[in-house]
Amino acid sequence: MTASPGSASALTEDDTDALTIGRRIRQLRTARAMTLEDLASAVDRAPSQLSMIETGKREPKLTLLQAIARALGVGIDALLEGEPLDERSAVEIALERAMKGQTFRALGIEPFRIGKTVPTDALKALLALHSEIDRLKDERAATPEEARRANVELRHLMRSQNNYFADLEATAGEILAAVRHPGGPLTQRTASEIAAYLGFTLHYAPDLPQTTRSVADLANGRLYLSSRVPAKGDARTAVLQALSSRMLGHAEPRSYAEFLRQRVETNYLTGALLMPEAHVAPALKDAKQRRAISIEDLRDAYSVSYETAAHRFTNLATEHLDISVHFLKVHESGTITKAYENDDVNFPTDRLGAIEGQMCCRRWTSRVVFDEDDRFNPYYQYTDTGNGTYWCTARVEASSEGLHSVSVGVRFDDTRWFVGRDTTNRGVSNHSVEACCRRAPADLEERWREHSWPNVKTPRTLLATLPTGAFPGVDTTDVYEFLEAHAPR
């Protein structure tokens, strides 16, 4: 993850080292009752030069560092430690970094020398104010437009890597090897073993905060999940999603973009644990050789949801099968809620390039499937577009927000590898052209345009900002009260 330009971590490593080394030199010098002039004389340098080193404005050369270490009676390693020696030094370094950042500059506050007489509490108060200003700036930036921009950037990253993340696959492999998972469906017992391996015990509570899926008590190694698992829920998924953040070392997100990235990484790692690459990839290669690739078979083999199987297929299809794919999740209202493509399919986008939130073409497989009475078997369709012909397989699944369709598709040339390629269902979609389906037929428009007035069901986030906080939408007061009530005494 990259730090925001205004954050302390946006400084270079050299800046950080210089500040820390300088504070360690000054602290060791004062502990030995040496003046700046005494140390300067001992190393044959001007006091002003050493002053710049101690304040982090100049990085000393190795030969000078060695001379300073000898004068202070310590080894050079004592000066090169990454952390300052005491709390005061840590606070001073943090404030000096903050003063070099964008927030102070934007407020017109010039960096000032932190004197010995300035109370530590005053420095802490300045740091707290700086942190709160940054938080408020991030909160104001968390608008629907900002969310769409972050989502577009993340989708471009996923596309550039063919939705395959080798580091996350490696992490999943290491965890599964540690608990000696033999392959095949990952059981609830194995999920519990993974929790134990990571130092957590599982606890099911009826009063889990409504804004959360799980809550981890890091101090006591306890993972809380709801005891009210929905009828169609998967207990393994909730456990693995919670643990994935710990496996990946996620810290509190500093921006909505980082929050979104962490969520994608968590879902990816969960899928990689439920459907290990080492077992799924050979099975997919075999299915391709037999021209019998099927998302349903993948779902059934690993006892996961159709959506999980479809997602996992997009992770591995290009990397292991050399097949470009696209994925869509569409609400029954026609709104696209999730999307991915690396096969150049022409999804509708807004001016920012965001796909999510756009209306899916009525003639696309993801919309047509809602009109099918047969919900037991998958629906297949070829769709002719201005960008070529695509084949898709789709299913309708229920969720707490209503019905959704989940579809996976490929270009016509790759259809030969899939079950369902012999379908006679066909459609024509030109959703980049207004007349395709976003505009009513001419006779209907002429008859009703001047004689109708729909009362729009406005999305609640249309005019409001996104839910605020480090974890958008989570009521942290509820979380802290819950942990306090359930913590072991």
What digits encode the pLDDT tens for the residues 39-48? 888 988 888 8
Q: Which of 182-186, 250-254, 402-406 has the lowest mean pLDDT?
A: 250-254
SS (H, E, C) 365-424: HHHHHHHCCCCCCCEEEEEEECCEEEEEEEEEEEECCEEEEEEEEEEHHHHHHECCCCCC
Q: What is the CATH number of the domain that holds 87?
A: 1.10.260.40
CA distances 106 to 125, 134, 137, 304, 384, Å, are 19, 11, 12, 50, 53
Environment class of 320 (CB within 10 Å of its CB; exposed 0-12, middle 13-18, buried 19+): middle
In a domain, 286, yes or no: no
Q: Which of 8-22, 179-193, 222-236 has the lowest mean pLDDT?
A: 8-22
The predicted pLDDT at position 8 comes to 34
In a domain, 95, yes or no: yes
In a domain, 314, yes or no: no
In a domain, 135, yes or no: yes
Phi-psi region of 199 (alpha: psi -120 to 50; beta: other; left: phi over 0): left
What digits encode the pLDDT tens for the residues 178-225? 999 988 889 999 999 999 999 999 999 998 888 888 898 989 999 998
Beta strands in 293-387 (DSSP E): 326-331, 336-341, 379-385
Q: What is the mean pLDDT of the chain?
A: 84
Q: Whole domain around residue 100: which residue ranges?
A: 8-141
SS3 39: helix
What's the farthest any 2 CA atoms get from each other in the chain?
96
The predicted pLDDT at position 9 comes to 34
In a domain, 60, yes or no: yes
In a domain, 105, yes or no: yes
pTM over the 0.85 mark: no
In a domain, 351, yes or no: no
Res. 144: pLDDT tops 70: no
Q: Which residues contact 394 (CB under 8 A, 6 or more apart)?
A: 365, 366, 369, 378, 379, 380, 381, 405, 406, 407, 408
What digits encode the pLDDT tens for the residues 91-113? 887 888 788 777 777 777 788 87
Q: What are phi and psi of 367, to 5 degrees?
A: -95, -40
Res. 78: pLDDT tops 80: no
Structurally, the chain folds into a number of domains equal to: 1
In a domain, 42, yes or no: yes
Encode 13-49: b = buried (16+ Cβ within 10 Å), e = exposed: eebbebbbbbbbbbbbbeeeebeeeebbeebebeeee
